[in-house]
Amino acid sequence: MSKQQSMTARTGRDKQRYSESGERLVAGVVPLSADKTRVLLIQSSRRTAWVLPKGGWETDEATASDAARREAWEEAGIHCVVTRDLGKILDTRGPKELSSSSPKALYQFYQVRVEKEEAEWPEKHKRGRQWMSYGDAKEKLKGRPELVQALERSEIVR
What is the per-residue pLDDT for 11? 67
What is the per-residue pLDDT for 2? 46
**Measuring CA to CA, which residue among 146, 128, 134 is closest to residue 33?**
134
Alpha helices in 79-144 (DSSP H): 134-140
What is the per-residue pLDDT for 117? 98
What is the per-residue pLDDT for 138? 98
| Amino acid at residue number 41 | L
Task: Output DSSP code: residue 38.
Answer: -
Q: What is the pLDDT along the chain (158 residues), one digit of tens a residue?
A: 445 677 776 666 688 999 999 999 999 999 999 999 999 999 998 888 999 999 999 999 999 999 999 999 999 999 999 999 999 999 988 888 888 777 899 999 999 999 999 999 999 999 999 999 999 999 999 999 999 999 999 999 99
Contacts of 96 (CB under 8 A, 6+ apart): none
What is the per-residue pLDDT for 4? 65
Q: How many CB atoms lie within 10 A of CB 78?
A: 22
Instruction: Identify whether the C-beta of residue 112 lies closer than 8 Å to the C-beta of residue 118.
Output: no
What is the per-residue pLDDT for 55? 96
130/139 Cα distance (integer angstroms) = 14
**Measuring CA to CA, which residue among 108, 57, 87, 54 is closest to residue 153?**
87
**Measuring CA to CA, which residue among 76, 50, 70 is closest to residue 133?**
50
What is the per-residue pLDDT for 103? 82
